Amino acid sequence: MDWQTLTRFRKETRMKTQVFKLLALSTIIALLSSCGIGGSSDTDEPAESHGQRVSEGRISVVIPKQWAKNPDFKPTLTGFTGSWANSLEEPTDIVRMSSDHEKGPTAEATMGYFETNAQFRSTYGREFKLGESKDLEIENATEAKLSTWTTNEKTGRTLRGAWVFVSTDGDSAVAGVEIMALELSDEDINAIIDSIQFDPTK
């Protein structure tokens, strides 16, 4: 085999090898993408596709699909009328809601009632501490308030909580959501808060 023939043979071999590598890489990427690994995870799927939307009158949220409503829940003194949890026997994460707390004519007034009682009347334990407080933008609401907090549950573990209260002008009924979590991540809690919907016509 002369030198030119040998050189041409080597070039052809390298080209075939590169083609095979590209084909193999394309196959791997396709397999990973079909398994949900690699590629973009951004989707336009609604939150309900990853959970279930539950409602209490005029307010609703999306919670994990495996959660269930407590059929024996009795309304609390603070006004919550419905409760959902990750377990009915030994819950570690709970969402409670009310369509009307009857604690104030606005979301801000109702939040003030809850914060004052928790801090000075120990309604959420002596270790209760307020965290972040801010306004939210929720469709159909004139006013929406968020406050986060922590306290200790009976075994000493830190319980993370959040309140969201929502109101609209011309209606003194204030709807609310309470989240209490031992195991939910910050991302999970924020997802529940972000999923809140308010329909004052109900």
70-128 confidence digits (pLDDT tens)? 999 999 988 999 999 999 999 999 999 999 998 889 999 999 999 999 999 888 998 99
Q: What is the total residue count of the chain? A: 202
Residues 135 and 187 in one domain: yes
pTM score of the predicted model:
0.76
Residues 82 and 175 in one domain: yes
Q: What is the residue range of 145's domain?
A: 48-198
CATH code of the domain in which 98 resides: 3.40.1000.10
Residues 37 and 89 in one domain: no
165-176 confidence digits (pLDDT tens)? 999 998 889 999
Residues 168 and 137 in one domain: yes
Domains in the chain, number: 2
Residues 24 and 105 in one domain: no
Q: Which long-range contacts (CB under 8 A, 24 or more apart) does 117-123 make?
A: 117/78, 118/149, 123/78
